[in-house]
Structure 1
Amino acid sequence: MSTGTNATDAARVEEAARRVVEQHPPGSVSQQEFLGACFEAGLSWVHFPAGLGGLGVSRGLQATADEILQAAGGPVPFYVNPIGYGMAAPTVREHARDPGLAREWLRPIATGEHIWCQLFSEPGAGSDLAGLATSAVRDGDEWLVNGQKVWTSLAHRSRWALLLARTDPDQPKHKGLTYFVLDMQAPGVETRPLRQMTGQAEFNEVYLNDARIPDAHRLGDVGAGWRVAMTTLMNERSAIGGGSSVRGSGTIADAVALWARYPDRRTPVLRDRLAALWTTAEAHRLTGERARRSATAGSPGPEGSIAKLVSAELNQRVYEFCMDLLGPEGTLYGSYALRDNGREADFRGPVQQRFLRSRANTIEGGTSEVLRNILGERVLGLPGDLRADANRPWREVPRG
């Protein structure tokens, strides 16, 4: 597999992308057909092996393919199936033990036919993910799973889930975990949407009561779940923080559009704030573009945590600016009644909704506090926090 970009690989990617656009024009075929053609052409994840949605070239060439496909009107796959495309696919590709099963999962992820969710957080294990209590007990060729997960985005729409469960409570908390793919339609899986302050319910509680998982759906070795989870988490932060490669796009575009709409509300102080936000957004975009272009076939590095940290806090500052520009009008939001929780989540509602939704940005995908710890300890080499539960069996660790 290639570990860097070269002219031959770039030409292959460009040719494949132009062929897909010519043979499957985005405006003339369904979204599913277009994305399916991208998968078969190896453009879903260009650094994946051939036959699994890739071409075996450098990860950095994904931007080359995306520019051609999206300039022609093709969808952004991450928006179609965020957890499936951004987190599940890299984890399945790297850790699935059966290539046939990997393809069986990956193609519907790429087309958006099967939505995925991520069963990690629990009521007693949020930022301390390794302290989770959901259990998986071996029963022949299956695993019997019991527990509760929470804050699970899109669980109400999902066909499959990434599941981290405890298989050995006598091991320290990081070592007794195993990673599975769970059928969300299996008996014993119950999903309950959680109403948010936006009026939507994209997050969910998921209860697992004697849910069964075939051992064939285990990713990685028994007890190696934490290592597999790191693949998911690093890709999650990279996907969430990646943003768009188009100048002036993303959340900063909302602030600029609002500024243009209300010339009578402009003040020197707000102008300075908008200029500072634009500068930060542009620096973030260029940093992300540099990381994408220089990326190889391996997993994302610390730049994913940096991008997620910056983008989450930038989003909040952008929408705080928008609310200040709106003034009293910013308090008007129509109704907080429970809104449609159907297939299409409304992420592009009024600015007031986006302001409310942005409060979750510094929590989901790793809190800002956790990300600063990661960067401090693993990138800068600073001393780590004291951990009283290190090397203690999980069952002996006190829990609230």
Structure 2
Amino acid sequence: MELRFSDADEKFRAEVRDFLTKDLTEELRQAGKASTSAFSEREWNLGWLKILNARGWAAPDWPVEYGGTGWTVSQKYIFDTECALAETPPLSPMGLRMVAPVIMAFGRPDQKEFYLPRILAGEDYWCQGYSEPGSGSDLASLKCRATSDGDDYIIDGTKIWTTQAHYANRMFALVRTDFTVKAQEGITFLLLDMNTPGITIQPIITLAGDHEVNQVFFDGVRVPKANRIGAEGQGWTIAKYLLVHERGNSFAARIRVGLEKVKAIAQETGAAEDGDFTRRLAEAGVALEALTMTEHRVMAAISQGAMMAAESSMLKTLGTELLQRVNELGIEALGNAAIPYAHDWTRPGANATPLGPAAAPVLMAQYLNNRAASIYAGANEIQRNIMSKLVLGL
């Protein structure tokens, strides 16, 4: 494997860096630095999306005919890496990277024509209706019911851990349309307008004090069958297709930013003088280099036409567990400065003075928020089962 990027790729990297220097506003830069999860708040990620869309760079993963960039696999990786290093506000993946590929692959022409431009422009803000109480990793056991009624479905039930549902005007959801067949065969994929009567959103406040996730209740919600993606009962196949896109993201660059912050804090607090701590910090650095090389290998394979399967589960598992490991080192480096924590301290422009290093509130919030990283998008235990089945044939 060639570990160096080509001259053309390095020229592209310089172009991206120049764009980030000129077009990433100071307000958005500070919002990115203060981001405590994989999602930034709606005002920040939509602000950044509009700047990217004006440049034609909002959807690197999309085909050109739908508004994509036409970049190579390596160019996409470079772009993601440079955005991570610049600490841009994380864009919501729900529209751009999750439901959009599904609409392209399984949607009707009229659905593509209507939804895709609205996703690019930020006119539609999406949330995901997958998990339910009792149906998380065992997604096939979902019970949210969609009953046929002429040209509509009537939806009753609930979804939980619904990220940013309180901001969203649209949801893509898995619902059960048939209880008489095998669990996976009775699931259908629907697109919902969140302003439809009968939808109620109840906030769930996380350990970090964030209102990021919600429980959504459906009481006789009428949804046109025209909002179905694919055929009735095809939802499980579509869901598996979507989850490959959700899990197959790059982690190394953002973890590298976090690791460098931990090193700086360790110097400031004196933790760097502890030999055991510095050993574990170095071990995390080695693991990061291994993850980076793994991402490069996967990137090279995709560029040769390979499909992501077990690799997406592998990257999700390695990336989230190393992320948590670096978060833990950060809290240890902060020592007592990690104890006093207020959610408002993580807001861009907050005028509170934290105890100890200035980065303490954000690092503490990231630590608390990222405890869920090895659970959402499919628990890592499930990812290991997938890898053992696809790679080892177990």
1:329 shift after superposition: 2.9
Matched, 1:303 2:317: no
Q: Give the 5 Å matches for 1:206-221.
A: 206-221=216-231
* Cα deviation, residue 21, structure 1: 5.4
Distance 1:26 1:262 in 2: 31
Counterpart CA distance in 1 for 2:329 and 2:311 is 27
Identical residues among aligned pairs (%):
29
| Superposed displacement of residue 201, structure 1 | 1.8
State the distance in 1 between where 2:290 and 2:217 align: 42
Q: What is the match of residue 323 of structure 2?
A: 315
Shift of 1:55: 5.5
Q: CA deviation at 1:101?
A: 2.4
Look up the equivalent residue of 1:262 and give its one-letter code: T
Which of residues 62, 65, 68 is equivalent to 1:51? 65
Partner amino acid, structure 2, of 1:357: N
Q: Is the 8 A contact 2:174 2:188 kept in 1?
A: yes
Give the ranges of 4+ consecutive aligned residues of structure 1 lying more than 4 Å apart after TM superposition: 24-30, 55-61, 64-68, 70-76, 296-299, 337-340
1:62 aligned residue (63, 76, 88) = 76
User: Alignment partner of 1:51: what SS?
Assistant: helix
Distance 1:33 1:200, change over 3 A: closer
**SS of aligned partner of 1:202:** strand
**Are 2:104 and 1:93 equivalent residues in the alignment?**
yes
Equivalent residue number for residue 267 of structure 2? 260
Q: 1:189: Cα distance to partner?
A: 1.3
RMSD: 3.5
Aligned residues of 1:48 and 1:57 also touching (Cα < 8 A): no
- 1:1-400, aligned counterparts within 5 Å? 25=23, 31-38=48-55, 41=56, 43-46=57-60, 48-54=62-68, 59-63=73-77, 70=83, 75=88, 79-98=90-109, 100-239=110-249, 242-245=250-253, 249-263=256-270, 266-296=273-303, 300-334=308-342, 349-382=361-394
CA 188–318 in structure 1, closer or farther in 2 if over 3 Å, else same: same
Structure 1 residue matching 2:202: 3-state secondary structure: strand
8 Å CA contact 1:200–1:339 kept in 2: the answer is no
Tell me the SS of whatever aligns to 2:162: coil
Aligned residues: 353
Note closer, same or farther for the CA distance 1:182–1:299 as it changes in structure 2 (3 Å cut): farther
Q: Please say if residues 200 and 216 of structure 2, whose CA atoms lie closer than 8 Å, have aligned partners that are also in contact.
A: yes
Q: What residue number does 1:386 align with?
A: none
- Per the alignment, in what secondary structure is the counterpart of residue 367 of structure 2? helix
Equivalent residues of 2:64, 2:70 under 8 A apart: yes
Q: Which moved more, 1:260-269 or 1:271-280?
A: 260-269
Q: Which runs of 5+ in 1 are unaligned?
A: 1-6, 341-346, 383-400
Counterpart of 2:156 in structure 1: which amino acid? N
Deviations 1:130-154 (Å, cap 9, x if unpaired)? 0000111222222211110001111
Following TM superposition, by how much is the alpha carbon of 1:367 offset from its aligned partner in structure 2, in angstroms?
0.8
For each residue in 1:308-367, what CA deviation from the matched residue of structure 2 results, as whole angstroms up to 9, or x when unmatched?
1112211221122222222233322246x9999xxxxxx994222222112111111111
Q: Is the 8 A contact 1:31 1:111 kept in 2?
A: no
CA, structure 1 residues 85+348, in 2 after alignment: closer, same or farther (shift >3 Å)?
A: farther
TM-score, structure 2 normalization: 0.78
